[in-house]
Structure 1
Amino acid sequence: MTVAARPASTAPVARPGWWDEPFGVFQTNLREIDAGLDVEATLDAIEEHGARVWLLNVGGILSHYPTDLPFQTRNPHLAGRPGGDLVGDALSAARRRGVRLLARMDFSKVAPAIADAHPEWLYVSPTGARQEFEGLVSVCPSAGYYQHRLLDVVDEVLDRYEVDGFFFNWFGFNEVDYAGRVHGVCHCAACQEGFRARTGLDRLPERAGDEHYRAWRGYATATIDALTARVRAHLAARRPDAALILGTAADVLFHEANNAIGRTLWPYATGEAVSALRSARPGKPVLVNAVAFWDMPYRFAAEQPEMLGQYLAQAIARGANPSTYVMGPAGHVAYDGLSAAAAVTRFHRDHRDVYAGLSPAARVGLVRPDPLDDDGRFGTGVAEHRGLLTALVERHVPFDVVPVGALADLGADPATDRFRVLVLPDLPSLPDPAADALERFVRAGGTVVATGRSGIGPDGAVRDWFPGERVTAVDADRDLLTSSYVQLDGAEAVEGARLVPRHGRHHRLAWRADTTPRFRLVEAAPYGPPEKAYGHVPGTEPVAGERRHGAGAVVQLPWVVGTAYRDTGLTALRDLVVDLVTERLGTPQVALDGPEQLEVVVGRSRAGLVVHLLNHSGQRGNGYGPVVPLHDVALRVPGLAGRPARALAGAATVVDDGDDLVVRLATVTGLEVVVIEDGVGTHE
């Protein structure tokens, strides 16, 4: 049965607090044998690291304080600690030093005795089995432990300790366990009833890929969001100066940066995640927890130092707060990357004036598809998104990531909305609220650059404000694409023309009469043997088109050029699509003269315009190694001549060149930050 929600205020509550200013965190994730933790030695290490906030295990799976609740498990090793209260000792020591203490809670599992007493709280697999791992039993967020008893635990902690906030670990539905085993969608009574009430469907899916799995994810997300909002409201009423660090409904948004066996490195993952969070929830702070070990099954093997530093450099560049996560007491495990993490954390601490209020400010928005948005035939737009993101990074075009779900909140006036160009990467569906917001954006003067299926419906019809009118054919099979090209110039003969291979998937369109065509399709001809490799003729069918709409424009390229770039590495493909973005952008926000391994991130803070330069030259295989110092880098900022400017990490020479400000950097090693103050001043 469904457990009634515990009464809590659900009215919107203003939640300003200490978390609105820059802060750094150090997490000691304790085992039960660590109950004798030396809190003073730990705080020494935390302060040396540059952090002023300590994230400590408090309750949930195991209570590191003498809990009196019958559905909590008191750590038996507390009996060997003088006073028997690790949390009380840690809080007292932290207060003496001015360090904040966050309570780490994990409600995902309970001890077998509690599980046996309350089977209605448990996760139930599609086969009716419960989920057990290392002697602990998983519980379900739909059921009574989460929905009712969770707040009892929070209240016990609040009654005893003036903690500065809470972080809830593994706060979700356990479809997969720690070992990576897929158990599937929970089929407990509460999930069945809740899913039916929300969706009207009588049968739950069993696992990802099943029919109605997307509806299940909607139910699961709504359940977690509603519970998060209740906890946040409860905290606001009981302890207004305590933050909740969790999901979209919390005070502080959270992302964990980690590595895993079998996962191909996506080098920009942390920056992308933070950018998406900041775009979807403007004004909310973000915490990035960088894991010091290499994959969960190898908690005592150190992550590569440069990888750990890269996590946090990307985090602070996008306006997040850095957190470092170790197992056990600080200093007990030889994590080689801690020095790299500490360098970024101290940098963030030492430049609080720059990071205070740092917000995204790029004029290009790259939409991130929903990875569950799979049409069953062509898959998702994730590969296209990543190809386009890589292309923008390498061409030094500042951008911010916008989740597709946040498009409906897009501002309609480019004069007040910071975006000038929005890039839609092969979106297999575009919900009407998002499409309506995009049309308003274009009509008011913005530009949309759409690739792949973006704007194309399942029936092949194209949205009526796009350049295309309808799909005439889809070339997705290799045989349809082999030895065909896209011609980038107007040459009259194929030989000698600028050609790029047509690879991936191309939706051929019938174009509207007022569309300006771009590029031409060169149809296939024999490619072998060499003696027969001729016969291509210049085509007449456009591969892309541009159309005015109101004061703005839509550029449609119904071909997965980003995916093609990821697969081939041909920079001509990269430049084709990035040029479509930059030519509509006009005067660049900033222009960088430097190697393509430098990523440019633009933001604004109380200090002025803030430009981060991230050196990705250490990227190798499935991780990061030492970077190559990059020399003689110049950052040009159009129209800001005369502004005071400085570099935070290295030496810089600041000069005016006409109306432009030019900052010359002798060397960019890892992370460089250029700050250009508002107002007019003189250079030193």
Structure 2
Amino acid sequence: MAWWSKNNLRLVQNNLREIDANLNVDALIGQLKEFGANVLMMNAGGIVAFYPTKLEYHYRAANQQKDLLREAIDKAHANGMKVIVRFDFSKAHESIFAKKPEWFYRTKEGKEVNYHGIVHSCISSYYQQVYSLEIIDEVLTNYDVDGIFFNWFGYNTFDYSGNDYGICHCGSCKTKFQDMFGLDLPAKADVNDPVYNKHLIYREVTASQMLDRVHDLVKGKNKDIAISTYSDHKVDIIRNESNTGKDRPLPKWLYSASENVKSIEDSWDEKLISNCCINAVDLVHRFTAVSKYEINIRLKESLASGSGLDFCIIGVFEDYPDSENLPVVSSVFNYHKEHEQYYGNFQSLSEVGLIRPRITRQADSKEYLGIFKMLKEEHILFDVVQQKKLVDNIELLKRYKTIIIPDILAFTVEELEVLDAYSQQGGCLLSTGRSFTQGEENQLFMQRSFDAKLEEIKEYSRESSYLKTEDKQVFKSFMERDWILLDGSFCRVKFGSNAIKHLPLVNPSLFGPPERASGHSISQEYFGLGIVTTEQRKSIYLPWQPGRLYYKYGYDDNKRMILDLLDMFADSRSPICTNAPQSVEVFFDKVDEETYILHLLNLSGFNGLTYYEPIPIHNIQLNLLNLKNCKQLINLVDDEKISYTNDDDGVKLELPVLSDFAAIVLKV
């Protein structure tokens, strides 16, 4: 069994600077031991070699006086820690560029990008495709590493200051793109340009080829060396990041760690997810940390979602100028170390699957994120299924009573066949937005599954359009609200005779001045909901974007609409019933045949922009509907007694107060 397969990583990454080449390893190991860390990630090579490399085209850290890599590996191993070494081949020292300029990225005008002495390379070039393997081989041959990680893997057109230099036009890219498609490279990134869409394929293919080479080299050396990067192709540990950026648009995404973990954990059995909690507020401001309350949420969401722990700072702890978050990190790491036996092998209890779109050009990611947020707030347990993994996870889909498809324009023929088989076997499909509108095969699926035929996609912006909630038997949350706003994409579809139509479109009219705000009419042609219920299938189609509206604006109408439909037409039953408010994130999983684990995380300290200490929440009641005959309840966080009773419909328990985080093991 590979060492990482236990899924118990407590990883700390020291993202080293060149000036750290002679760092005090004993001090670093001592800090890691205080944290309870069991994995150290540190730089090995690429931009800068932190060991005495013998390769001509590998720049070694200036003024390095020792073999830092060997000392760190030896002392980490002596203290029971694994070591993952970090490479970054996206750039190289300008001295390498001076010798081998053909290895590097070029703008359309043929210019290189030299960022303060570090020059951008290209993944398609000889440097990354071939010479990088010589660097990796040198490290693997001479050092007893446990894993390798690649930073910034793939095609990147930006420098650290945010300047975009456009698609690479180096000789390798020109030749390989011409060989693959018989075309010249596109001039710029434009999703409406078919040549650029071919370039996206080219990028994916060449990046995969690179990972194929890395995989063959590493596993040929030692199959027990873990491979990790941000891609899922030929890697053992998929890495994501929970981070922030000053220029990132609002709203802030509260569920970053949960989504990062679930989107991998729920779709791959054979791969681990390690979600790196970045300490810094921004790439520019690496030496100031985000709030300790935000770090606390990220780490605990990662853990409760089924991952280990992963934390990163720039440089070393000794001279890092912001240590406020370190006690929080140490506390969570040591909690996991103490209770490790309950973590690493969660088994889902969800009956709802939410499909994560393959790439954003085929979907509106805000729709997916908005529905993710809805389900989290309402304590509906769900799994995230990657669109790209649908065909591989046919058996997995059978456990879901409902699959939600959030504004995914196109599926492959094979993916459509999987969804069709799921529907034919009685599963409920709930589709939103522009799903199944791109291409003939998808539109035929829309007609077959939802009895809906697309006429056009209308974009509403500054228009006073609405949907009418006229059937209060269905829309039980709208007894006193007859209209809800409509904004964004609306698919004008004609529903057939098999579809029950709801939410008629309220056509736009004047909205100003107030004296002219009238004249709306109810459409007899277009509707915001069609429901098909037959002996063979149950399908719900909302040709607008409730998730996107909820993500952007937070209007509760959009969430209540989805909840009403799930309650009325979907058979899925959440295994948890609770009075906990929306600001409590709930996780419930099976550990083994006799053990379940329940987590509650108090998110009430988040006000939409700032993270504060959470407000204690009292008397939280939970009914765990899938459990029978609980024999023992173990509170992992503190000594507070939690009362429970076994009832006919499950195990009922009450948490007197949730200050921050609860972790409760139930033995049956």
Task: Output the TM-score relative to the length of structure 2.
Answer: 0.91
In structure 2, relative to structure 1, the CA distance for the partners of 1:603 and 1:230 (3 Å cut) is farther
Matched with 1:6 is: none
Given that 1:57 and 1:103 are in contact with CA atoms closer than 8 Å, whether structure 2 keeps it comes out as yes
Paired residues for 1:351-370 under 5 Å: 351-370=339-358
Q: How does 1:571-586 map to 2 (within 5 A)?
A: 571-583=556-568, 584-586=570-572
* Range that drifts further, 497-506 or 427-436: 497-506
Paired amino acid for 1:266: W
Q: CA deviation at 1:143?
A: 1.2
Give the superposition deviation at 1:240: 2.4
| Aligned residue in 1 for 2:241 | 256
Cα 1:189–1:20, aligned 2, differ >3 Å: closer, same or farther? farther
State the distance in 1 between where 2:105 and 2:583 align. 46
User: After superposition, where does 1:540-619 map in structure 2 within 5 Å?
Assistant: 542-548=527-533, 551-583=536-568, 584-606=570-592, 608-619=595-606
2:365 to 378, 382, 397: 382
Shift of 1:159: 2.1
Aligned-pair CA distance for 1:555:
0.7
CA contact (8 A) 2:243 2:281 kept: yes
2:623 to 636, 653, 657: 636
Residue of structure 2 equivalent to 1:402:
385
Distance 2:84 2:196 in 1: 35
Distance 1:457 1:500, change over 3 A: same
Aligned residue in 2 for 1:658:
648
1:292 and 1:335 in contact (8 A); partners too: no
Contact 1:319-1:360 at 8 Å conserved across structures:
no
Alignment of 1:137 onto 2:122: no
Distance in 2 between residues matched to 1:490 and 1:522, nearest whole Å: 20
AA matched with 2:387:
V
Q: Does 2:454 correspond to 1:471?
A: yes
Deviation (angstroms), 1:669: 2.5
In the alignment, the residues of structure 2 paired with residue 47 and residue 214 of structure 1 have an alpha-carbon distance, to the nearest angstrom, of 48
Alignment check: 8 A CA contact 1:468 1:509 kept:
no
Q: Which amino acid aligns with 1:355?
A: Y
Query: What secondary structure sits across from 1:449 in the alignment?
Result: strand
What is the alpha-carbon distance in structure 2 between the residues aligned to residue 675 and residue 592 of structure 1?
17
Mean Cα deviation higher: 543-552 or 248-257: 543-552
Task: Flag structure 2 segments of 5+ consecutive residues without an equivalent.
Answer: none
Q: Provide the rounded CA distance (Å) in 2 between the counterparts of 1:184 and 1:523.
A: 42
Classify the secondary structure of the residue corresponding to 2:55: coil
Q: Mark the CA change 1:16 to 1:420 in structure 2 (over 3 Å): closer, same or farther.
A: farther
Number of positions where the alignment pairs a residue of Structure 1 with one of Structure 2: 651
Q: Quote the offset at 1:508 in angstroms.
A: 2.9
Q: How big is the alpha-carbon RMSD for the aligned residues of Structure 1 and Structure 2?
A: 2.7
Offset from partner CA, 1:566-590 (integer Å, 9 cap, x none): 3443323211112323441343222
Q: What is the alpha-carbon distance in structure 2 between the residues aligned to residue 554 and residue 463 of structure 1?
A: 10
Deviations 1:371-415, CA, capped at 9 Å, x for gaps: 4425xxxxx42222222122112211112222322223341586x
Is the CA contact (8 Å cut-off) linking 2:350 and 2:382 kept in structure 1? yes
Task: Tell me what 1:23 maps to.
Answer: 9
Q: CA shift at 1:78, angstroms?
A: 1.4
Q: For residue 7 of structure 1, what is the aligned residue in structure 2? A: none
- The answer to whether the 8 Å contact 1:43/1:94 transfers is yes
Which amino acid letter does the alignment assign opposite residue 647 of structure 2?
D
Q: Report the Cα distance in structure 2 between the residues aligned to 1:370 and 1:522, rounded to whole angstroms.
A: 33
Question: Relative to 1, partners in 2 of residues 1:586 and 1:94: Cα closer, same or farther, differing over 3 Å?
Answer: closer
Q: Quick one: distance in 2 between partners of 1:54 and 1:515?
A: 57
In the TM superposition, what whole-angstrom CA distance separates every residue of 1:514-553 from its partner, at most 9, and x where no partner exists? 2233344444566667677666677666431221366431
| 2:452 and 2:493 in contact (8 A); partners too | yes
SS of the residue aligned with 2:270? coil
1:63 maps to which residue? Answer: 49
8 Å CA contact 1:387–1:563 kept in 2: the answer is yes
Query: d(CA) in 2 for partners of 1:87 and 1:536?
Result: 71
Out of 634, 637, 649, the residue aligned to residue 646 of structure 1 is 634
**Residue aligned with 1:157, SS:** helix
Residue 37 of structure 1 aligns to which amino acid in structure 2? L
* Gapped regions of structure 1 (runs ≥ 5): 1-14, 375-379
Amino acid across the alignment from 1:38: N
Partner amino acid, structure 2, of 1:654: Y
Q: Are 1:169 and 2:151 matched, yes or no? A: yes
Q: CA deviation at 1:250?
A: 0.7
What is the letter of the counterpart of residue 449 of structure 1? Answer: L
2:314 is aligned with 1:327: yes
* Distance (Å, rounded) in 2 between the aligned partners of 1:132 and 1:276: 36
Query: Offset of 1:504 from its aligned partner?
Result: 3.0
Percent identical pairs in the alignment equals 26
Match of 1:283 among 270, 277, 293: 270
Higher mean C-alpha deviation, range 495-504 or range 162-171: 495-504
Once residues 424 and 51 of structure 1 are traced to their aligned partners in structure 2, the CA distance between those partners, rounded to angstroms, is: 39
Aligned 8 A contact 2:169 2:185 in 1: no
Which digits, 9 at most, give the CA deviation of each residue in 1:109-152, with x for residues without a partner?
21222112112211111221111112011111111111111121
The reply to whether residue 117 of structure 1 matches residue 99 of structure 2 is: yes
Match of 1:236 in 2: 219
2: CA distance between counterparts of 1:131 and 1:637? 57
Change (3 A) 1:253 1:632: same
| Offset at residue 36 of structure 1 (A) | 2.3
1:298 aligns with 2:299: no
Looking at structure 1, the residues matched to 514 and 95 of structure 2 have their Cα atoms a distance apart, in angstroms, of 74
Matched residue of 1:191: which SS? helix
